[in-house]
Chain A
Amino acid sequence: GAGVSQSPRYKVAKRGRDVALRCDSISGHVTLYWYRQTLGQGSEVLTYSQSDAQRDKSGRPSGRFSAERPERSVSTLKIQRTEQGDSAVYLCASSLGGGTAYEQYFGPGTRLTVT
Protein backbone atom coordinates (compact mmCIF):
# COMPACT_ATOMS: atom_id res chain seq x y z
CA GLY A 1 0.00 0.00 0.00
CA ALA A 2 0.95 3.64 -0.16
CA GLY A 3 3.55 4.67 2.35
CA VAL A 4 4.66 8.06 3.53
CA SER A 5 5.67 10.35 0.72
CA GLN A 6 7.54 13.62 0.79
CA SER A 7 8.07 16.39 -1.70
CA PRO A 8 10.23 17.70 -3.05
CA ARG A 9 12.89 15.03 -2.71
CA TYR A 10 15.64 17.60 -3.23
CA LYS A 11 15.59 21.30 -2.53
CA VAL A 12 18.25 23.96 -2.94
CA ALA A 13 17.61 27.27 -1.24
CA LYS A 14 19.60 30.44 -0.89
CA ARG A 15 20.46 31.44 2.63
CA GLY A 16 17.82 33.67 4.13
CA ARG A 17 14.96 32.33 2.05
CA ASP A 18 11.96 30.48 3.44
CA VAL A 19 11.24 26.90 2.39
CA ALA A 20 8.25 24.62 2.75
CA LEU A 21 8.50 20.84 2.72
CA ARG A 22 5.49 18.61 2.29
CA CYS A 23 4.65 15.25 3.82
CA ASP A 24 1.76 12.98 2.90
CA SER A 25 1.34 10.46 5.66
CA ILE A 26 -0.42 7.11 5.64
CA SER A 27 -4.19 7.38 5.66
CA GLY A 28 -5.56 6.76 9.12
CA HIS A 29 -2.35 7.63 10.92
CA VAL A 30 -2.87 10.01 13.77
CA THR A 31 0.56 11.20 14.81
CA LEU A 32 3.01 12.85 12.52
CA TYR A 33 6.66 13.72 13.19
CA TRP A 34 9.33 15.74 11.47
CA TYR A 35 12.97 14.77 12.02
CA ARG A 36 16.17 16.28 10.78
CA GLN A 37 18.91 13.82 9.84
CA THR A 38 22.44 15.10 9.56
CA LEU A 39 25.27 12.97 8.22
CA GLY A 40 27.38 11.62 11.03
CA GLN A 41 25.25 13.17 13.74
CA GLY A 42 22.03 11.23 13.78
CA SER A 43 18.56 12.59 13.78
CA GLU A 44 16.68 14.99 15.97
CA VAL A 45 12.97 15.51 16.15
CA LEU A 46 11.76 18.93 15.12
CA THR A 47 8.02 18.86 15.68
CA TYR A 48 5.19 16.45 16.06
CA SER A 49 1.43 16.66 16.03
CA GLN A 50 -1.33 14.43 17.22
CA SER A 51 -4.78 14.02 15.83
CA ASP A 52 -6.08 16.96 13.88
CA ALA A 53 -4.02 19.67 15.45
CA GLN A 54 -3.20 22.13 12.75
CA ARG A 55 -0.40 23.70 14.67
CA ASP A 56 2.36 21.38 15.79
CA LYS A 57 3.95 21.44 19.16
CA SER A 58 7.44 22.48 18.39
CA GLY A 59 10.18 20.24 19.70
CA ARG A 60 12.76 22.75 18.73
CA PRO A 61 13.25 26.05 20.52
CA SER A 62 14.08 27.98 17.38
CA GLY A 63 11.08 29.88 16.08
CA ARG A 64 12.26 29.40 12.52
CA PHE A 65 10.77 25.91 12.36
CA SER A 66 7.04 25.35 12.31
CA ALA A 67 4.65 22.83 10.90
CA GLU A 68 1.07 22.99 9.80
CA ARG A 69 -1.39 20.23 9.16
CA PRO A 70 -3.98 21.52 6.72
CA GLU A 71 -5.41 18.03 6.32
CA ARG A 72 -5.26 15.00 8.57
CA SER A 73 -2.75 13.22 6.38
CA VAL A 74 -0.77 16.21 5.15
CA SER A 75 1.84 18.24 6.96
CA THR A 76 4.00 21.10 5.81
CA LEU A 77 7.27 21.90 7.54
CA LYS A 78 8.23 25.53 7.14
CA ILE A 79 11.72 26.83 7.71
CA GLN A 80 12.09 30.58 7.80
CA ARG A 81 15.24 32.49 6.99
CA THR A 82 17.23 29.37 6.15
CA GLU A 83 20.80 29.09 7.36
CA GLN A 84 23.58 26.94 5.99
CA GLY A 85 23.36 24.81 9.10
CA ASP A 86 19.85 23.83 8.03
CA SER A 87 21.31 21.70 5.23
CA ALA A 88 20.19 18.18 6.07
CA VAL A 89 17.70 15.49 5.20
CA TYR A 90 14.26 16.19 6.63
CA LEU A 91 12.32 13.03 7.40
CA CYS A 92 8.62 12.82 8.01
CA ALA A 93 7.17 9.90 9.94
CA SER A 94 3.66 8.90 10.88
CA SER A 95 2.14 6.36 13.21
CA LEU A 96 -1.26 4.99 14.06
CA GLY A 97 -1.08 6.27 17.59
CA GLY A 98 0.89 8.48 19.86
CA GLY A 99 2.93 5.99 21.81
CA THR A 100 6.10 4.09 21.14
CA ALA A 101 4.02 0.92 20.84
CA TYR A 102 3.09 2.30 17.44
CA GLU A 103 5.70 1.88 14.76
CA GLN A 104 6.73 5.06 13.04
CA TYR A 105 6.78 4.82 9.26
CA PHE A 106 9.19 7.12 7.54
CA GLY A 107 9.10 8.90 4.23
CA PRO A 108 12.12 8.98 1.91
CA GLY A 109 13.08 12.44 3.11
CA THR A 110 13.74 15.80 1.50
CA ARG A 111 17.39 16.68 1.08
CA LEU A 112 17.74 20.40 1.68
CA THR A 113 20.87 22.24 0.65
CA VAL A 114 21.22 25.85 1.72
CA THR A 115 23.77 27.81 -0.30
Chain B
Amino acid sequence: RKEVEQDPGPFNVPEGATVAFNCTYSNSASQSFFWYRQDCRKEPKLLMSVYSSGNEDGRFTAQLNRASQYISLLIRDSKLSDSATYLCVVNRPRSNDYKLSFGAGTTVTVRA
Protein backbone atom coordinates (compact mmCIF):
# COMPACT_ATOMS: atom_id res chain seq x y z
CA ARG B 1 0.00 0.00 0.00
CA LYS B 2 1.33 3.46 -0.85
CA GLU B 3 2.13 5.72 2.06
CA VAL B 4 0.06 8.53 0.60
CA GLU B 5 -2.75 8.06 -1.91
CA GLN B 6 -4.58 10.71 -3.85
CA ASP B 7 -7.26 10.83 -6.50
CA PRO B 8 -5.25 11.90 -9.55
CA GLY B 9 -8.19 13.77 -11.06
CA PRO B 10 -8.20 15.78 -13.20
CA PHE B 11 -10.78 18.02 -11.65
CA ASN B 12 -11.99 20.41 -14.32
CA VAL B 13 -13.94 23.28 -12.81
CA PRO B 14 -15.19 26.65 -14.04
CA GLU B 15 -13.76 29.82 -12.63
CA GLY B 16 -15.47 30.74 -9.37
CA ALA B 17 -16.42 27.18 -8.49
CA THR B 18 -15.47 25.30 -5.36
CA VAL B 19 -13.35 22.19 -5.68
CA ALA B 20 -12.37 19.78 -2.94
CA PHE B 21 -10.36 16.59 -2.80
CA ASN B 22 -8.86 14.25 -0.25
CA CYS B 23 -5.83 12.16 0.32
CA THR B 24 -5.32 9.20 2.63
CA TYR B 25 -2.18 8.21 4.47
CA SER B 26 -1.24 4.78 5.73
CA ASN B 27 0.93 5.47 8.78
CA SER B 28 -1.19 6.37 11.79
CA ALA B 29 1.93 7.70 13.54
CA SER B 30 2.35 10.52 11.02
CA GLN B 31 2.21 13.87 12.73
CA SER B 32 2.83 16.52 10.12
CA PHE B 33 0.72 17.11 7.06
CA PHE B 34 1.05 19.54 4.21
CA TRP B 35 -0.39 20.49 0.89
CA TYR B 36 2.14 21.44 -1.77
CA ARG B 37 1.39 22.91 -5.16
CA GLN B 38 3.35 21.93 -8.24
CA ASP B 39 3.03 23.61 -11.60
CA CYS B 40 3.98 21.68 -14.71
CA ARG B 41 7.71 20.92 -14.75
CA LYS B 42 8.29 23.19 -11.79
CA GLU B 43 9.32 22.51 -8.23
CA PRO B 44 6.77 21.73 -5.51
CA LYS B 45 6.00 24.71 -3.32
CA LEU B 46 4.43 24.66 0.10
CA LEU B 47 0.81 25.76 -0.08
CA MET B 48 -0.15 25.24 3.54
CA SER B 49 0.41 23.08 6.55
CA VAL B 50 -2.55 21.12 7.87
CA TYR B 51 -3.38 21.34 11.55
CA SER B 52 -5.54 19.09 13.64
CA SER B 53 -8.17 21.74 14.13
CA GLY B 54 -8.31 22.51 10.44
CA ASN B 55 -7.04 25.74 9.01
CA GLU B 56 -7.85 28.28 6.40
CA ASP B 57 -5.65 30.47 4.28
CA GLY B 58 -7.66 32.80 2.11
CA ARG B 59 -9.63 30.71 -0.34
CA PHE B 60 -7.95 27.48 0.77
CA THR B 61 -9.19 25.33 3.62
CA ALA B 62 -7.42 22.22 4.85
CA GLN B 63 -8.86 19.61 7.18
CA LEU B 64 -7.29 16.65 8.96
CA ASN B 65 -9.19 13.56 10.04
CA ARG B 66 -6.88 11.42 12.14
CA ALA B 67 -9.43 8.72 12.84
CA SER B 68 -9.92 8.02 9.16
CA GLN B 69 -6.38 9.03 8.22
CA TYR B 70 -7.21 11.51 5.54
CA ILE B 71 -6.65 15.16 4.85
CA SER B 72 -8.61 17.37 2.53
CA LEU B 73 -8.14 20.56 0.60
CA LEU B 74 -10.96 22.83 -0.47
CA ILE B 75 -10.52 25.72 -2.85
CA ARG B 76 -13.27 28.32 -2.95
CA ASP B 77 -13.90 30.83 -5.71
CA SER B 78 -11.31 29.11 -7.87
CA LYS B 79 -9.12 31.22 -10.14
CA LEU B 80 -7.45 30.32 -13.41
CA SER B 81 -4.14 30.57 -11.57
CA ASP B 82 -5.21 27.75 -9.24
CA SER B 83 -4.67 25.29 -12.10
CA ALA B 84 -1.88 23.03 -10.87
CA THR B 85 -1.15 19.67 -9.32
CA TYR B 86 -1.74 19.55 -5.58
CA LEU B 87 0.50 17.21 -3.67
CA CYS B 88 -0.51 15.70 -0.37
CA VAL B 89 2.56 15.42 1.84
CA VAL B 90 2.98 13.55 5.10
CA ASN B 91 6.04 13.20 7.28
CA ARG B 92 7.54 9.77 7.77
CA PRO B 93 7.53 9.37 11.53
CA ARG B 94 10.84 8.11 12.80
CA SER B 95 13.08 9.76 15.34
CA ASN B 96 15.41 12.33 13.81
CA ASP B 97 13.92 11.61 10.46
CA TYR B 98 12.10 14.44 8.81
CA LYS B 99 11.64 12.96 5.42
CA LEU B 100 8.41 13.55 3.61
CA SER B 101 6.21 11.21 1.65
CA PHE B 102 4.40 12.70 -1.29
CA GLY B 103 1.26 11.54 -2.98
CA ALA B 104 1.16 11.37 -6.75
CA GLY B 105 -0.87 14.56 -6.86
CA THR B 106 -4.35 15.73 -7.79
CA THR B 107 -4.57 17.76 -10.96
CA VAL B 108 -6.93 20.72 -10.95
CA THR B 109 -7.76 22.66 -14.08
CA VAL B 110 -9.78 25.83 -13.76
CA ARG B 111 -11.38 26.99 -17.01
CA ALA B 112 -12.63 30.43 -17.91
**Residues of A at under 8 Å CB distance from B?**
3-4, 31, 33, 35, 37, 39-45, 48, 59, 91, 95, 98-100, 102-104, 106-109
Extra contacts, 8 of them, besides A43-B87, A45-B100 (Cβ < 8 A), are A3-B43, A31-B98, A37-B102, A41-B2, A42-B101, A42-B103, A43-B101, A100-B98
Chief secondary structure at chain A's binding surface: loop
Contact present for B4 and A42 (CB under 8 Å): yes
Contact present for A35 and B42 (CB under 8 Å): no
Q: Which residue in chain A gives the minimum CB-CB distance to B4?
A: A42
Contact present for B2 and A106 (CB under 8 Å): no
Contact present for B98 and A43 (CB under 8 Å): no
B32 on the A face (CB < 8 A): yes
CA distance A37 to B32 in the complex (A): 20
Given A100-B98, A104-B100, A40 and B43 touching (CB < 8 A)? no
Determine the chain A residues whose CB is within 8 A of the CB of B44 once the complex forms. 91, 106
Q: Among B43, B45, B96, find the residue whose CB has the most chain A CB atoms closer than 10 A.
A: B43
CA distance A79 to B31 in the complex (A): 31
